[in-house]
Structure 1
Amino acid sequence: FAEVRVDPDFGEVRVTRFVGAFGVGQVINLKTARSQMIGGIVMGLGMALLEETVTDSRTGRIVNANLGEYHVPVNADIPAIESYFVEEIDPYINPIGAKGAGEIGITGVAAAVANAVYHATGKRIRDLPITPDKLL
């Protein structure tokens, strides 16, 4: 779930709060699994609001091929994040009942942000990243 604030004059989107609940089976190490989910959420926020690969239409080369021009989220871009695990028992997956957490935290983040932007502005943005020019 995402909570956003959108500046009506400039179209700047800021995520103010994010809550994620994940079903990953039996959690073996709660601290590292929670950090993995928060990392996935941060990647999803970057996908939703910042990250965009720009290619030259004539040559097909990537124009923003370095971190100076390819924008990724930094600490100031990240809101308060809450991560929870849905308790589930799956005796069929393996003897421990654990599933891979991997990058499951990124799943649905961009969609949650886009839906929050829609509820805040009434504009449905279907092309990521959600930038001011698409909102104004």
Structure 2
Amino acid sequence: MFDVGRIINPKTAASQLRGAVVMGIGMALSGQALIDPRNGRTMSAGLDSYYVPVHADIPPIDVDWLDEPDKTMPLGIVGLGEVGTTGVAAAIANAVYHATGKRIRDLPITLDKLL
């Protein structure tokens, strides 16, 4: 459930929010860029080795919004952007904590951090 102001195109808004949730799931469970501490350079060879989940990797996600215009903006419209990502990784981390009793504070949450 999102509070994103007035929605002009519901189909596009739902897709944008679903994509943001998928991005948040990827951030929590798989997204990691390894940085060399000596020089600050990315150690990954390229984007071909960086796993990014797509909609086919994720079960169906229901999204909805309050559809209340933002009184501070003209026409009550605000940008969706990546607002759907906010809180996803934290919610997954909390679910992992409640399931395992181990609090993981570094993303991504991987099996080696749980053991």
Q: TM-score, normalised by structure 1?
A: 0.77
Change (3 A) 1:24 1:74: closer
Amino acid at match of 2:96: V
Q: In 2, Cα distance between the equivalents of 1:74 and 1:65?
A: 21
Does the 8 A contact of 2:19 with 2:55 survive in 1?
no
Q: Which residue does the alignment assign to 1:135?
A: 114
Deviation at 1:79, TM superposition (A): 2.1
Question: Which ranges of structure 2 fall in alignment gaps of 5 or more residues?
Answer: none
Amino acid at match of 1:69: S
Amino acid at match of 2:39: T
Does the 8 A contact of 2:20 with 2:85 survive in 1?
yes
Does the 8 A contact of 2:20 with 2:84 survive in 1?
yes
Which aligned pairs between 1:59-98 and structure 2 lie closer than 5 A?
A: 59-94=39-74, 96-98=75-77
Question: Which ranges of structure 1 fall in alignment gaps of 5 or more residues?
Answer: 1-20
Q: In 1, Cα distance between the equivalents of 2:14 and 2:100?
A: 32
Query: Helix, strand or coil: the match of 2:92?
Result: helix
Which aligned pairs between 1:1-136 and structure 2 lie closer than 5 A?
A: 21-94=1-74, 96-136=75-115
Q: In 2, Cα distance between the equivalents of 1:24 and 1:109?
A: 16
Does the 8 A contact of 2:22 with 2:55 survive in 1?
no
Q: Which residue does the alignment assign to 1:18?
A: none
Q: TM-score, normalised by structure 2?
A: 0.90
Deviation at 1:83, TM superposition (A): 0.5
Tell me the C-alpha RMSD between the 2 structures: 1.5
Structure 1 segments (4+ residues) deviating >4 Å: none
Count of paired positions: 115
Query: Helix, strand or coil: the match of 1:83?
Result: coil
Percent of paired sites with the same residue: 59
Amino acid at match of 2:90: A
Q: In 2, Cα distance between the equivalents of 1:127 and 1:92?
A: 36
In terms of fraction of residues, the more helix-rich structure is 2
